[in-house]
Amino acid sequence: MPSDDPTEVPIPEVLTTLARRVTQRGRRQFGKVAKVGRQQLELRQARADLDDFWSRMGKTAFRLNQAGEISHPALDRAQARIERLLQRIDELQTRPSDLDDED
């Protein structure tokens, strides 16, 4: 039974208004989350780029030190350690594995 009270709002109108507000708030929140996500992605990419640059710089210093174009005690120690690691890797790659003996 409809009411004659002018301040009473019909339930479908209330539900429509409520749904509209929830949708608008959801869109705003989604926009904020998307912005944070983009910022995090940009930060992660910048860190990856920095790591890549450090690696390339290290390889450049290694080659320059190896060629005798630059010299520093720390570079000399790093050079020797890298050469030992490269030799160890080569040995491990060329050595037959223990699994080959099980035939």
- pLDDT digits 0-9 by tens, 80-99: 999 999 999 999 999 887 66
The region that residue 22 occupies, defined by phi over 0 for left and psi between -120 and 50 for alpha, beta otherwise, is: alpha
Neighbour-count burial for 69-79, b at 16+ CB within 10 Å, e otherwise: eeeeeebeeeb
The model's pTM is 0.56
User: Which tokens go with 81?
Assistant: 């350690």
| Lowest mean per-residue pLDDT among 4-8, 27-31, 51-55 | 4-8
Domain borders along the chain are 11-95
Q: How far apart are CA 22 and CA 5, in angstroms?
A: 27
